[in-house]
Amino acid sequence: MAHCSLTDSELHSGIRKQSIIFGGNKKLRIYGLLRCASGKRMKKENRVFFATEAMAVAAGFRPCGHCMKAQYRFWKLNNLQ
């Protein structure tokens, strides 16, 4: 779900209800935790949200190398061969 399509109250409600757990950059195809400093710097028009890691991976996103180091290492080992 795109950040631009949500109001602030819908966003905060989704985070509280845990229907929004991960944020992603739709241009770079990277997802990570909402608290990630790298993710917080991205432009609002590039930000999308996911409820699960599986949803982000299914959408073609890779894990963030900063906030999801273990998942990124696993992804890198399995996708760059």
pLDDT one digit per residue (tens) for the chain, 81 residues = 888 788 889 988 988 998 899 999 999 999 999 999 988 899 999 999 999 999 999 999 999 999 999 999 999 999 876
Q: Is the dihedral of CA 70, 40, 20, 46 positive or negative?
A: negative
* Total domains present in the chain: 1
Residues of the domain holding 61: 3-79
5/70 Cα distance (integer angstroms) = 31
- Residue 43 CA: distances (Å) to CA of 7, 40, 81: 16, 8, 31
Give the model's pLDDT for residue 7.
87
Within the chain, where are the H helices?
8-16, 37-40, 53-58, 69-79
What is the spatial order of strands in the sheet that 47-50 belongs to? 47-50, 22-25, 30-33, 62-63
CATH number of the domain within which 12 lies: 3.40.10.10
